[in-house]
Structure 1
């Protein structure tokens, strides 16, 4: 993806089914769960850039000893290993202290010496990150601030384990303001800022209600006070707590929670927008945002990994029993298309083939654009993440050319003639030619950089292959998607122009991004989308600027309606134009300026039907079509246009907090 957008967060969970001593005996490692958590998070480091957090819960800790811990860091996710190593250094420091103490006791009292590292019970008692439940989070912020305090997991401490709560997730809720108003009507004092805080407080409230009811029942039945916590823990219905909490949630989410008594839950939104996969054997239960992370870490096949169904919650009680139940009614299944287009790691077999299919679907448009002139066309890709789609694109081109060659041969046979010169033209001089034109010579995640310095960073991190493209050639490059076009205009197209082609054709495997996302992707500011800018430019050029103000008034009118009755008023901005007209204007807008190159730029976008042909009809397309899977999406898109019209910065879902 040439533009610097990023996306939803990554989640990782490891729940041990055996005591730490079991893993010490079998693997020689009492910190097996801690190491597994690191491995899953490392495999998903592509999913977060703002920081990371880990949490640990210890089962069956005696009163007086802490049982729940968390650690958060704003270190780059590329330094995950260093963050975990810092914790291991603390483990070694504790080991040295306790071993010295034990050696002194052996010398003074003749006690048998057992090294701390060979004592799983002591490890669990003394080292914060030694427990049976581990959760990990990689954050890319799409609401709130970006400091350490905004990193997951969020935590709510009480003196009751069955009311203490730790929550993390990969999500955006569209109706946080409504949820905060409900809390205030109860008499609560919510802290505005993020939907994560709202989620934590709502689950916490419902947990308090369930806990209090159980406490009074048990106390009134004569159960001794010291025994009440155990009975509450056994009887606590976590599924019901989740069901009550999520009644009014609108958005896309995969949320994980740990209750202090050791109950663990993971839930997925009713439309299945955000991904959630799990793996289970007789030793562990594990969760990740991406299937291949679990496959790689535990060395298992695709068939061993399961997807948590939309509108369902998986609950593992402290005693070990597991259930997966509905907490609400599912909506139409609408998983996020961008997981396939860009976000998830491409070594997942399904995503690999989907990306290849996205590239192949572009073939007819490209063949038409170059007028079948492959002799004077060089095919390539930029950036590196588009490489898989490029392979599919080449496969599709070869198939297309084989059909042409076959038809020509059949025609020759039918006429009883064999034209060797024509065959040479078809096969030798007019066969698709793929080259690696842009090379990333510095391994840096350029989308992390602040926008003010990003263009120079991109230019410095790419080099080009000289002497391959001529001034008579079309240069066709595959890109994952074009969101804002800024990087293409200011950096990448200027780099490609150094090859001096006759024409540069940029092909996006995604359709035109016209509408904001509000379910976890950082594509929320409508005015920054190049497709939106192109449509507004055409409206003004053709004397239809009144549509902009009319749309503003229509958006305000929509926001007065109940959200279930809202429609997307912003569609009026695009209605007067064909996709081709908008693509042509985008090409004009991103063409590099102040360069010695005199060629032209053309932009080809994936069509909506071809997107669904490549990915599957069920995949979400609201960022392209404006057809949102939840009512809250329509409030966000209308609010986003209002912010644009009033020249106010910020994400629409934050304005609705």
Structure 2
């Protein structure tokens, strides 16, 4: 499903110094002798020596590149060089930015940016140009080591406009980029200027008071102090692990598992919590209490499980594969078509495969790859252009699988519908399918997202035109609505899952999840405000909140 896109992913690695007395800091490990082998050595091909631990960052970023392919970067820490913090960032994939296909250049970059600690970032953005200045991490240099820092940000601040106007209204201040990451840069700088000795929890508490939205942060300063923080609602996933002297953070658990950490060592950064490395020690502290609303403690984005995350990841104690499997089982339970020897289930590659497999198993029919994805085309939302043409280039139907068949086409979700229309045309014209029945492992998308997903305006979404009527309550999804939707798509039939199926599949209470795009219940005040703006008659054809939020 090439119509829905994420914003970013973050990572961090740290080779902790040998156990030291209180007062000895990370900068002292170079004088402490041989630190010994990494505890991960038996489970990875080669672990860099401590002062080259930063070499692990490109490897981690490759595992979370599903979260962003527009830009990539890293900042490393090495107290022995004049540039204690050194940042490499650029536009392009991880392979392109780190020159992974040119070993001499890659080795030169890794030597230049070596260090025992580093943070990394992959980016996709809905706003802002494809410019290296928007790539992360952002670095702020200063003569005082505590005030010299870099950070990477995953999320979206729903109150970007208010924060931007506040900063500019103070006078003698300037913002050079239209991104909420620069807002965070300003807020971190302001708090550290006021109190450079504040702890990571204190810093995040003070900055967090200003923020409405989703925010995960990895932070590294020129004293070798690092932290990772997750917003109080836990909207975006964030994981960390420690084994022996090796500490790491990533947006998804699969990246830490592939690095060599045991599964039992990998845990979630809890909402409103900061995990820090200071004085060679790892500390976990809460910086913000859960929200005051009685019926909500968290707002985990449900789309992480059904689409964005790697199927091998586990987030907030729920593994992605099992959730998608449950969604496929739910599709099978509500299926009313007569199954015969010509019926097959076909997933839209790749994230719908687990749901399609489970649905086919439940129905007792084959699940076949009738659509093949051209993996060398890249993600269509990066190249731009006509979405339908991109979909035709990206997917190839197989007539030897599809011809004469009753096809149950399983998709993650339908946002704008452009890609789905193109796929149905492909299945009929080139695949020669006899029937195409669309099954969506998600409820209809009826509202925009203000917390880190490139969601279009209400006007551009496919479902609201059938469910929303000016001045009237939203219409319930029923067979008549699905029939009209199927006719517009060119499908023989269309079935969505009900909203209740999401919480059941994730095995969390509805009030623990952010489902605003399917139930219109936004978990923050600014989100609710922006939705009302989105419904206004003069919201226009552009992104409703383009002037209200700018994302990383």
TM-score under structure 2 length normalisation: 0.86
Partners of 1:577 and 1:313 lie apart in 2 by 42
Alignment of structure 1 residues 437-456 onto 2, 5 Å = 437-456=370-389
CA offsets, 1:323-359, max 9 Å, x none? 2212111232221111111111112361111111111
Partners of 1:15 and 1:606 in 2: CA distance: 43
Once the two structures are superposed, residues 213-269 of structure 1 have per-residue CA deviations (whole angstroms, 9 ceiling, x without a partner) of: xxxxxxxxxxxxxxxxxxxxxx54232122111112110111112222222121101
What corresponds to 1:334 in structure 2?
Answer: 299
* Structure 1 partner of 2:325: 356
- Cα deviations across residues 141-176 of structure 1 (Å, max 9, x unaligned)? 134333111111112112111112212111100012
Mapped pair 1:90 → 2:108? yes
Asked whether 1:494 is paired with 2:419, we answer no
Instruction: Identify the residue that residue 282 of structure 1 maps to in structure 2.
Output: 244
**Structure 2: distance between partners of 1:469 and 1:54:** 45
Partner of 1:106: none
CA RMSD, Structure 1 to Structure 2 (Å)? 2.6
Distance 1:254 1:497, change over 3 A: same
What SS is found at the alignment partner of 1:205? helix
1:500-556 per-residue CA deviation (whole Å, 9 max, x = no partner) reads: 4443111111110111111111114222211123346xx5xxxxxxx2xx5xxxxxx
Q: SS where residue 353 of structure 2 aligns?
A: helix
Which secondary structure does the structure 2 equivalent of 1:82 belong to?
Answer: coil
Cα pair 2:218 2:229 within 8 Å, conserved:
yes
Gaps (5+ residues) in structure 1?
Answer: 93-126, 212-234, 399-431, 540-546, 551-571, 592-599
> What are the within-5 Å matches in structure 2 for residues 393-472 of structure 1?
393-398=359-364, 432-469=365-402, 471=404
Partner SS state of residue 324, structure 1? strand
Q: In the alignment, is the contact (CA less than 8 A) between 1:57 and 1:69 conserved in 2?
A: yes
- Whether 1:154 and 2:138 are equivalent positions in the alignment is yes
Where in structure 2 are the equivalents of 1:544-623 lying within 5 Å?
547=470, 550=471, 572=472, 575-591=474-490, 600-616=491-507, 617=509, 618-623=512-517
Alignment of 1:221-260 (within 5 A): 235-260=197-222
2:312 counterpart residue number: 347
Offset at residue 609 of structure 1 (A): 1.1
Residue 15 of structure 2 corresponds to 16
Q: How many angstroms does 1:608 deviate by?
A: 0.9
Pick the structure with greater CA Rg: 1
Shift of 1:635: 1.7
Unaligned runs of 5+ in 2: 18-28, 39-46, 292-296
Give the distance between the partners of 2:203 and 2:379, measured in 1 at CA. 42
Q: Does 1:199 align with 2:161?
A: no
Q: Residue in 2 aligned with 1:638?
A: 532
Cα deviation for residue 611 of structure 1 reads: 1.6
State the secondary structure of the residue aligned to 1:347.
Answer: coil
Listed one character per residue, the Cα deviations across residues 457-504 of structure 1 (whole Å, up to 9, x for unaligned) are 332343333245565x53111111111110111x21111113444431
Aligned counterparts of 1:46 and 1:28: Cα–Cα separation in 2: 25
Q: Supply the distance in 2 between the matched residues of 1:323 and 1:384 (Cα, whole angstroms).
A: 38
Is it true that 1:267 corresponds to 2:241 in the alignment? no
Conserved? CA contact 1:190–1:198, under 8 Å: no
Rounded Cα–Cα distance in structure 1 between residues aligned with 2:53 and 2:127: 31
SS in structure 1 at match of 2:399: coil
CA distance in 2, matches of 1:58, 1:28: 14
Q: Which residue of 252, 274, 277 maps to 1:313?
A: 274
Q: Find 1:378's aligned residue among 344, 369, 379.
A: 344
Cα separation, 1, equivalents of 2:287 and 2:311: 32
- Does residue 647 (structure 1) correspond to residue 540 (structure 2)? The answer is yes
User: Which protein is richer in helix relative to its size?
Assistant: 1
**Which SS does the other structure have where 1:526 is aligned?**
coil
Aligned partner of 1:130 in structure 2 is 114
SS in 1 for 2:120: strand
Q: CA deviation at 1:72?
A: 0.9
Residues 503, 602 of structure 1: 8 Å contact kept: no
